[in-house]
Amino acid sequence: MDTEGSYAYLTVQGASGAVIVLNAATNTPVVLTTFALPCSAPNGILAAGNYLYVTCYDTSTLYVLSIDNTVPSAPVLAIAGGVSGLQGPYPGISLAGTHMYVPAHDGAAIYRVDVSHPAAPVIDGSVATEAGTSPNGVYVYEGNVYCACSSEPTQSYFQIFTATGTMKALGELPVAHSPQRLVVRGNYAYMTNFDAQHLDIIDVTRPDAPTLAATLPLGCQALPIILTGSYAYVGCFASTGVAMIDVSSPTSPVIVTDAATTASPVQALGLSGQHLLAAAGIAGGQFQTLTVTGAALSIWTANGTAVAALNPDGTVYKSAMHNGGQGIAVDSTGNVWSASASGSSVSEWNSAGSLLSAGFSIGAGNLPVAIAVDGAGAVWTANSNGSVSALSNSGSLLSPATGYTGGGLNSPAGISIDVSGNVWVTNAGNDSVTEIIGGAEPVPPLVTGAANKTLGVRP
């Protein structure tokens, strides 16, 4: 996850990978759009200006996406360019100027990609990590690349390389297995460790000879980290979700508070104003509602991934569960609809996070992957079996039990409804877009076409 201005950007893995864009300007983030990617395992993501940089592990590719925020409530993403050959990139990517630095976990190397021309990014440098290690995350700071480099099964390293010209090794420090993400400020690097379950603080005053300044036990599998002011926030892949750490004295860090997130594995953190955003990859698609002092905050789910807004102190008071979140939409009354990845149904929640219905059927065998709500409150789902289903706002099935089919529908990945009432579906299976002409409100159905939900394919 990354944040830029009032927006939060989140990668989602699944049969069709995607980027979710949220308005994170308030205590209750709102999903604005979902953009399908040509890969199934997007992981690293960074936002900078009018561009979004996303790495995909399964295709070993870095994609550059353009961001059009002309209509703030409806940002538009598009792929501007991409470069492959990155040998299994990991999420811990870093941007410095016009260059992106990508940890190639499978290739045991760090790649430097020139992104000055977004339509044609190019690899213009690389350096191998210590023999037997693979980079999990990198961070560029004041001309150097800092790496959390792990090995199997025991010895790992914190390594430092030059960032410009011919990339070369400067120094390294043996650390416990397995370091994950890192941030560098001033003379110190702050690095999480998953297996050792602690935070390492490393003195980098001499890049050729880094030394360990402090190790803070966390009692959880530490993963993402954010540093702001005199505090570090660490997400944990365990019952303790977020730890707030006072690092005003780097040699003597102190845990201020832990925030439990109901065993939700926190995989990414973002900062928006005075609120922390936590992205949690949850087995089975957990749906939570969190409340913090003075405000009720919710988690939105998609493809088994959740997004939460927390205060920086991480205080959490309650949670709720929902199995199999696959897509999400909000109707005109503020109720939240979630498509269930574990069955042929959709669930409905009110804006306070209370479950209204645990499963309206959309027809046996129709497995929803995306969801939208039209002007009349009807709920539309794009289904992985090549169909589209529709429900009334009260949960009655409007479409045939088999869903609407034909019209080039092939492994749908996304669905949206335009101002004319046309339903648009992206097809991952054949790289096309299908339109159900006038099928949704607010526009009355066309006499010859939409009355029978006639499908048409646009080139």
Say which CATH number the domain at 428 has: 2.120.10.30
- What pLDDT is recorded for position 304? 44
Assess if residue 363 is contained within a domain: yes
CA distances, 364 to each of 193, 285, 371, 403 (Å) = 45, 20, 17, 9
Residues of the chain with pLDDT under 70: 25-29, 153-154, 238-240, 259-264, 272-275, 280-327, 340-343, 351-355, 358, 442-459
- What pLDDT is recorded for position 322? 41
Assess if residue 171 is contained within a domain: no
Instruction: Write out the two tokens for 384.
Output: 């992985």
- What pLDDT is recorded for position 375? 83
Assess if residue 444 is contained within a domain: yes
Q: What range does the domain containing 454 cover? A: 327-458
Q: What is the mean pLDDT of the chain?
A: 81
- What pLDDT is recorded for position 205? 97
- What pLDDT is recorded for position 214? 98
Among candidates 267, 241, 263, 245, which has minimal Cα distance to 254?
Answer: 245
- What pLDDT is recorded for position 445? 39
Q: How many domains does the chain divide into?
A: 1
- What pLDDT is recorded for position 431? 85
Question: Each residue of 255-292: pLDDT tens digit?
Answer: 987 766 554 577 778 776 666 777 765 444 343 434 33
- What pLDDT is recorded for position 285? 38
- What pLDDT is recorded for position 342? 54
- What pLDDT is recorded for position 324? 45
Assess if residue 130 is contained within a domain: no
Assess if residue 297 is contained within a domain: no
Assess if residue 436 is contained within a domain: yes
> What pTM was computed for the model?
0.68
Among candidates 151, 11, 7, which has minimal Cα distance to 67?
Answer: 7
Assess if residue 410 is contained within a domain: yes
Assess if residue 366 is contained within a domain: yes
